[in-house]
Each structure stands twice: as structure tokens, then as C-alpha cells.
Amino acid sequence: STFFVTTGFHGLHVIIGSTFLAVCLLRQIQYHFTSEHHFGFEAAAWYWHFVDVVWLFLYVSIYWWGS
């Protein structure tokens, strides 16, 4: 059951991150980002870094420590 819960949370975070990237793409097409005003894009990038770090932690905790 732990596997399915972590997989579900991971899928949820991927959906949220993909939505962030789609919104960033739409905003970029409409020229909403400038060199001074790009926090939305930066927040999406930080979010993906967060998902990467969490995935590494989950990999270590489930597959290495669990065996």
C-alpha cells in the first residue's frame, strides 16, 4: 500500500508541475515574462527541483532501506 500511495502522490505532483509548465508556456506566448518580471517561471522551476529531491528521497527510503 505504501508503493501505491507514494506513486499516487508522485503522479499528483507531476500533474501539478505539468500544469505550471503549461501556464508558463501560455504566458510566454503572450510575452508576459521579462528579464525583471519572471517569478512565475522561476517558481515552476523551483517546484520541479522540489519534486526531483522528493523523488530521490523516496527512492532511497523505499528501495534501498526497504530491502
Judge whether residue 67 has pLDDT over 70. no
* Domain residue extents for the chain: 2-64
Q: Which three cell numbers stand for residue 15?
A: 500533474
Indicate if the alpha-carbon torsion angle 5, 9, 12, 14 is positive or negative. Answer: negative
Q: What is the pTM of this model?
A: 0.74
Per-residue pLDDT tens over the stretch 9-61: 889 989 999 999 999 999 999 999 998 999 999 999 999 999 889 888 888 88
